[in-house]
């Protein structure tokens, strides 16, 4: 692999996702807000990350907690206003942090003025801004497409006698990106925030934004079985990942790049769930690039064992175009927390994996504390996906619980009962408590992030997988003359070290000369 010395900030750095509803409440309503984020930015800066990504803050009825946008160029009063956003942006920049917004281009709220107009009748000037179709000959939906939240992806409008498409809730109608006016309006919205100084966007469900012409039925998924989300009963061949969407992504990239003349690149991170070959196409080409980072969720989706991860890492790296920069995620507002999936001992190993693999890592708020499983009582469930398809383990509330800051009432998050329950061990698992403990998960994350900053081998170096004992994942990172090796024990048993060297960091503290303890990860400087 040819080394480069011109890595932009988004290749060298680390992104930290903030779910605004659950970060810090400043006004006593039980829901986080922008003033709360501003108050807690020192925690983020002290971690050692380079950028924050805010989940949606736009005006919204909150049917899907902000992913149903009613105005792309304002802030929901629940979170504050444009002035409070400007203060957060300035405060982040003062601390050397970039700020990314969550842009939602596939759909709006049904209360967005565009859709309100579109719904007035077939002769509305905004009718073609959304996807309306006549019923099938039997009077039913135009095709068999299934909403990601279950049920038909089509909603009947009795006034006009047509159906409109919604890939998610019926209150989230899909925009028609084949209409040039829609594209122009959405690009104007992106410009609004770029002109305001944001450093880029995480783009929600980017691979959804264009649908196949003619709207053919999606084929059945032969591997589907009851107990899996209803969406997966079909293969989304015609409702996602269309060639025209790639062209739009390339135009988005050109827009973002046009704001990089000051030497501070604006970054586009695309939410894209696809197999490696299709996923890699979202980088575009050298002469027509698309998103900088198509999000890679494979550390969330794969079994947690060394053999599986090794195979997955090798296949993902091999799938990348020569100009494509990798990226990794172990947690998000949509997935069960890493400590809930693999347990706290392995969550420490996962932290070392995330922050030493080649590529840009994204951290999710609270994972730096090792927050684990949080049971949400039935009467506290807020997630529409869980409410529509209960009992199959797809609820997202479990990862959206409030940040525990200290031992004060309601964990210092709020002065009242928060909108979702806190983690049950918040009295001891909170930021203040872990700051006092040099062996805490928070301390481990800070050490790992500091190592990334001081060792180019970890931030931008090449990577080579190494042989190791069963249950151990090992690899080498190299940049120039600097070489570091990583050995991760993904088992509950001690394992022989795969190589000799000086220990730079252990996830358990201390070190032994020839053994990886159970659930231990180590970074080594190899013996010369």
DSSP assignment string, 479-526: ETTEEEEEEEE-SSS-EE-SS-EEEEEETTSS--SSEEPTT-EEEEEE
All structural domains of the chain, each given as residue ranges with its CATH number in brackets, are 9-108+180-448 (3.20.20.80), 113-165 (3.90.400.10), 462-526 (2.60.40.1180)
Query: pTM for the full model?
Result: 0.97
Catalytic residue among 25, 64, 204, 241: 204
Say whether 271 is catalytic: yes
Q: Give the strands of the sheet with 327-329, arranged side by side.
A: 293-294, 267-270, 200-203, 98-103, 51-54, 15-18, 360-364, 327-329
204 is catalytic: yes
Question: Position of tokens 């983020």?
Answer: 44
Out of 25, 50, 76, 271, the active site residue is 271
Query: What pairing do the DSSP bridges indicate for beta strands 162-165 and 154-157?
Result: antiparallel
Structure tokens at 222: 């032969």
Q: How far apart are CA 398 and CA 331, in angstroms?
A: 12
For residue 500, what pLDDT is reported?
A: 87
User: Per-10-residue mean pLDDT for the chain, 528 residues long?
Assistant: 71 98 98 98 98 98 98 98 98 98 98 98 98 97 97 97 98 98 98 98 98 98 90 96 98 95 86 96 97 97 97 98 97 96 97 98 98 96 93 93 98 98 98 98 98 97 97 98 97 93 93 87 90
Q: How long a stretch of residues is the chain?
A: 528
Instruction: Give the residue ranges of DSSP H helices in 297-440.
Output: 298-301, 306-319, 338-342, 344-356, 384-388, 431-435
Structure tokens at 176: 């028609």
Among residues 212, 327, 217, the alpha carbon closest in space to that of 272 is found at 327
Q: Residue 54: beta bridge partners?
A: 18, 101
């Amino acid at each position: 692999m040819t080394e480069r010395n011109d890595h932009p900030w988004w290749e060298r750095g680390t992104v930290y996702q903030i779910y605004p509803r659950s970060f810090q409440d400043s006004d006593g309503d039980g829901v986080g807000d922008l003033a709360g984020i501003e108050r807690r930015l020192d925690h983020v800066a002290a971690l050692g990350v380079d950028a924050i990504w805010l989940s949606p803050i736009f005006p919204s009825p909150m049917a899907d907690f902000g992913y149903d946008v009613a105005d792309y160029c304002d802030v929901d009063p629940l979170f504050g206003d444009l002035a409070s956003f400007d203060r957060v942006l300035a405060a982040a920049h003062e601390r050397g942090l970039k700020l990314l917004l969550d842009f939602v281009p596939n759909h709006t709220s049904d209360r967005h003025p565009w859709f309100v107009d579109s719904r007035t009748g077939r002769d509305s000037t905004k009718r073609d801004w959304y996807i309306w179709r006549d019923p099938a000959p039997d009077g039913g939906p135009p095709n068999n497409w299934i909403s990601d939240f279950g049920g038909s992806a089509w909603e009947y409008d009795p006034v006009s006698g047509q159906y409109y498409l919604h890939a998610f809730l019926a209150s989230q109608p899909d925009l028609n990106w084949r209409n040039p006016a829609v594209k122009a309006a959405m690009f104007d919205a992106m410009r609004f925030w770029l002109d305001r100084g944001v450093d880029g966007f995480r783009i929600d469900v980017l691979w959804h934004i264009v649908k196949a012409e003619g709207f053919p039925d999606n084929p059945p998924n032969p591997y589907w079985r009851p107990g899996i989300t209803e969406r997966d009963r079909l293969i989304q061949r015609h409702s996602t990942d269309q060639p025209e969407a790639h062209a739009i992504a390339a135009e988005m990239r050109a827009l973002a790049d046009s704001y990089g003349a000051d030497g501070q690149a604006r970054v586009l991170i695309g939410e894209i769930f696809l197999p490696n070959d299709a996923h890699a196409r979202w980088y575009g080409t050298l002469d027509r690039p698309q998103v900088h980072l198509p999000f890679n969720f494979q550390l969330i989706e794969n079994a947690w064992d060394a053999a599986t991860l090794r195979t997955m890492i090798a296949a993902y790296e091999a799938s990348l175009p020569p100009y494509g920069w990798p990226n990794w995620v172990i947690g998000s507002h949509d997935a069960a927390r890493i400590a809930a999936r693999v347990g706290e001992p392995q969550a420490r190993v996962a932290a070392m994996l995330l922050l030493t693999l080649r590529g840009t890592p994204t951290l999710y708020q609270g994972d730096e504390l090792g927050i684990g499983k949080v049971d949400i009582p039935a009467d506290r469930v807020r997630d529409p996906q869980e409410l529509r398809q209960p009992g199959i383990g797809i609820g997202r509330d479990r990862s959206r619980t409030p940040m525990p800051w200290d031992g004060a009432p309601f964990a210092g998050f709020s002065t009242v009962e928060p909108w979702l329950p806190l983690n049950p061990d918040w009295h001891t698992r909170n930021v203040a408590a872990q700051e006092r403990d040099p062996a805490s998960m928070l301390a481990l994350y800070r050490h790992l992030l500091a190592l990334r900053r001081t060792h180019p081998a970890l931030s931008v170096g090449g990577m080579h997988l190494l042989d190791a004992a069963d249950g151990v994942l090992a690899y080498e990172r190299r940049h120039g003359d600097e070489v570091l090796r990583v050995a991760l024990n993904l088992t509950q048993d001690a394992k022989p070290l795969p190589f000799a060297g000086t220990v730079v960091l252990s996830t358990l503290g201390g070190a032994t000369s020839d053994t990886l303890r159970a659930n231990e990860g180590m970074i080594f400087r190899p013996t010369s």
